[in-house]
Chain A
């Protein structure tokens, strides 16, 4: 009733190929941005910002990165955690060398290092596919994890082997380190994530994205219509790693405030991969849904169980939460194998014809 396209005419090509063809969708997006930039900063408490929203955005960005590679180009990667680590360590080294440079610029620049490393480990993708490629990226994961432990230069020869985030200021306001308020950090992360999501959206809806999807759907056919496989696949690896790298830098600098190498182990890679699969392969919205389900749901279960008066011990809740989240993932994948993004699409479709479905 409220959500339908009747009366909205497309009079030129630009409106016809728009990412959000419906006015209602555009309004919805504006409302989400308004909530993100104005309502949440005004209402959310520190726990919400620091322990829920910032990590959610960081993981959503990493999921977008992996989605570009796995969802759009069809190349399975198990090296996400390592590529995030490259971004984090690059940002750490950059801010050590250039303490005066704006940390936000460095966080984005560190993505370039990650992109270079990603492209390097993407080289085998021309020869090997599927599970074999997954194993090759797993090798990247193990090699880079090893570097994070064994190359003391990366963590400035710190005795404890961890990287600690120094205080950095942007226009006189602390944005990293312990003195930065969660609100500042949230707004920085949100701005970067919104900006990079917008760029990703333009990439995947444009020529490059179509090339990726052609390779995903059938690389032989793509080659026959004139797409050069190696540059396309390497570009996918580079862009994907760029996103993961920035996410890693954000994770350490704006959320953790310090990290040991174990943060970027293979579990992190699986964590992001689950988000992408549950959220929906080949969907940017799905990346956000996946991050919400995999990351926020356990926290919600944990926080809500005492609030509703269940006298359960925290460790019991923890065990229960593993079971519930596991069951939910299986449930969602059974009812909708294409992920939450598809579920969202179906919901919108149903809403379009509501209340008179045909």
Chain B
């Protein structure tokens, strides 16, 4: 033990001083919480790149939005709640206009903080389904659809395949899900629908630690032989489940994943036999849209994208782009309502609350048919918009159904109930104090 070592050690310890970073003026600060490392990095890199590339494209092509440059900064969460909360605290001091948590765990942590810190949370089709209720969650937005919408669309879709929802009576439907808050979300809705339509719901939970070891679970599936399987999985769990389904000879075209189980890297590793696997999605894939071409021209070809060129246009990349379209349109809307160019979190909250992305507007920005038109209101922070089914053909995803809208009359009561439960469980939950803007 030398003194030199000791000095080195003390130097390291003393270097643990955190310096504050000054915020700069005349720009809109958009932090992106991404996870390009860790166990789920495959989807995280695609989503993160999609989000960053679209916003950077707006900077490159138009010099930002409304003449104000966007300051896009990523914070790495590794899909870890601890780091995510740390990221939130880190970006909070720099006046972010919106935070995209990109993990159910992180979203749940920061939902109570959003109203206090006056930062809108955009959890695009993930997070807490109940937060679609704008009266109790004025700062949380989760368009275009909740997991409950997704599950109801699945039931509607298989009802259509069986020849009517009444034909579902007596059928067996399996739910393969990640045994975590995210995976458990669709259960109450599917249970309610099972009662209404008379099908039998079989639950197959996959513990997070067993994501890549599902053989025993699929033995149960083989024994039960459900007519349809819906999967609410994530990360390595998805390809493993598809492989196991192939092993027990389960018909791929009766196996439907939700929108986080339908990435290219979910189906591809399962090999050619995964052909026919179905998945819901609310965004189109491929590069055949002017908006993606613009990104390729202004960002990718200049070498400013972190994503491999040949993978641009994959499901999760395009989903990241859609996430940024919502942010960008909300910024435009907020600038219009507030009359300010440099908006803050409160303005963007108003912008999100009166957001309407019509089919015409989608066409204008070069995303015709890319996603379903969406409309957010004061009461409804979700919109309960449609999605469609895609099928894996061995190399890419193809759209195989029309846009399916959720069974709203079944989903809405659940949202109301869950939102009420959340508020009553959290004594002292603040009443909404923000006035409603008229839709512009």
Contacts and interface: CB of A to CB of B under 8 A. Distances in A.
A52 B128 contact: no
Interface string B16-56: 11111100000000000010110000000100000000000
A318 B6 contact: no
* Size category of the binding interface on chain A: 35 or more
B113 A257 contact: yes
B16 A292 contact: yes
Interface stretch (B71-79, B154-162, B266-274, B380-388): B71-79
A300 to B, nearest CB: 4
A314 B75 CA distance: 6
A46 B91 CA distance: 11
Given A159-B418, A335-B5, A313 B74 contact: yes
Interface string A233-260: 0000000000000000000000111111
A51 B89 CA distance: 7
A328 B184 contact: no
Given A315-B34, A335-B1, A346 B6 contact: yes
B253 interface: no
A259 B428 CA distance: 19
A76 B148 CA distance: 45
Contact of A50 (B74, B82, B89, B421): B89
B12 A297 contact: yes
B20 A336 contact: no
Contacts of A314: 34, 36, 73-76
A262 B105 CA distance: 9
B365 interface: no
B181 A318 contact: no
Contact of A159 (B76, B185, B427): B185
Contact of B209 (A179, A265, A296): A265
Given A265-B209, A296-B16, A315-B34, A159 B184 contact: yes
A166 B426 contact: yes
A261 interface: yes
Interface in B338-392: none
A326 interface: no
Interface centre among A45, A179, A318 (most CB of B within 10 A): A318
Given A47-B93, A257-B112, A336-B1, A303 B425 contact: no
* Size category of the binding interface on chain B: 35 or more
B425 A158 contact: yes
A81 to B, nearest CB: 12
A178 B113 contact: yes
A205 to B, nearest CB: 25
A349 to B, nearest CB: 10
Nearest to B73: A314
Given A262-B208, A314-B76, A346-B1, A47 B17 contact: no
Nearest to B38: A318
B96 to A, nearest CB: 13
A255 B185 CA distance: 25
Interface string A316-346: 0111001000001000100110001001001
B108 interface: yes
A263 to B, nearest CB: 7
Contact of B185 (A45, A156, A160, A306): A160
Interface string A20-57: 00000000000000000000000001111011100100
A166 B6 CA distance: 46
Given A292-B13, A297-B12, A297-B16, A318 B37 contact: yes
A10 interface: no
Nearest to B115: A178
B1 A46 contact: no
Given A167-B428, A318-B78, A347-B6, A161 B113 contact: no
A336 B2 CA distance: 10
A258 B109 contact: yes
B90 interface: yes
A350 interface: yes
A187 interface: no
A257 B116 CA distance: 13
A310 interface: no
What 9 pairs across the A-B complex have the smallest Cβ distances?
A: A315-B36, A178-B112, A167-B428, A160-B181, A51-B89, A314-B76, A318-B76, A300-B16, A51-B86
22 contacts: A160-B104, A165-B112, A166-B425, A166-B428, A167-B426, A177-B426, A178-B112, A179-B430, A255-B85, A256-B81, A257-B109, A260-B180, A261-B180, A262-B180, A292-B13, A299-B18, A313-B306, A314-B75, A315-B76, A318-B36, A318-B76, A340-B9
Interface of B: 1-3, 5-6, 9-10, 12-13, 15-21, 34, 36-37, 45, 73-76, 78, 81-82, 85-86, 89-90, 92-93, 104-105, 108-109, 112-113, 115-116, 128-130, 179-181, 184-185, 188, 207-209, 306, 418, 421-422, 425-428, 430
Given A179-B116, A314-B34, 18 more contacts: A45-B93, A47-B89, A51-B85, A149-B180, A158-B421, A159-B188, A160-B181, A167-B427, A178-B115, A179-B428, A256-B109, A258-B108, A262-B81, A299-B18, A299-B86, A303-B18, A314-B73, A347-B6
